[in-house]
Chain A
Amino acid sequence: SAVISQKPSRDICQRGTSLTIQCQVDSQVTMMFWYRQQPGQSLTLIATANQGSEATYESGFVIDKFPISRPNLTFSTLTVSNMSPEDSSIYLCSVAARGNEQYFGPGTRLTVT
């Protein structure tokens, strides 16, 4: 299984600012994913990030709000822009594995005040 790290692990931000979350994988992977887990809720896919192409966003998520970069096969960033308290969530990145499953990073816990 892949080892995935995320930075920062948590942050408290003021409304109107932006935060960039980094996701690093210890091996090369084609597909990376970004999920949001709102307090007490399940996970919702924000977007799929493939290296060398634009990220594909799910319904309800837009690039202006959640720009994603995927500069190489081991790294991706998600930016949460112009934050509001409703953006307070845990943001998780994951990677697709050969066996059809996904492996997840530890998550970034974001609180917007």
Chain B
Amino acid sequence: GDSVTQMEGPVTLSEEAFLTINCTYTATGYPSLFWYVQYPGEGLQLLLKATKADDKGSNKGFEATYRKETTSFHLEKGSVQVSDSAVYFCALKGVFGNTDKLIFGTGTRLQVFP
């Protein structure tokens, strides 16, 4: 079945460093892909999304490009801030079977220090 694999955390960076969080997926066809962020003690917030190959989702300085050839949707940010410290979840929504559900990766904790 469909699945999402994320790099394990925690990822620890200094402020203004470059961030990459890897995400790869397994799915039939062209799923929709998402990044969600969970700040401490809060629920999930949609960060960005892409619905077709080569689409680039972006928000708040974060970007991710839907790469069909490598089945990847890596999250990047050029200069992280302390306020970006959170858990980041990659997720997909498939096109076969139960197409309403989101399938999540295990999450990657990001810690940014001043």
Contacts and interface: CB of A to CB of B under 8 A. Distances in A.
Contacts, number: 50
B34 A101 contact: yes
Given A105-B43, A107-B43, A48 B100 contact: yes
B93 interface: yes
Contact of A104 (B44, B49, B101, B105): B44
Interface residues of B, number: 20
Contacts of B36: 104
A43 interface: yes
Contacts of A101: 32, 34, 46, 49
B28 to A, nearest CB: 17
Interface of B: 32, 34, 36, 42-46, 49, 51, 89, 93, 98, 100-102, 104-107
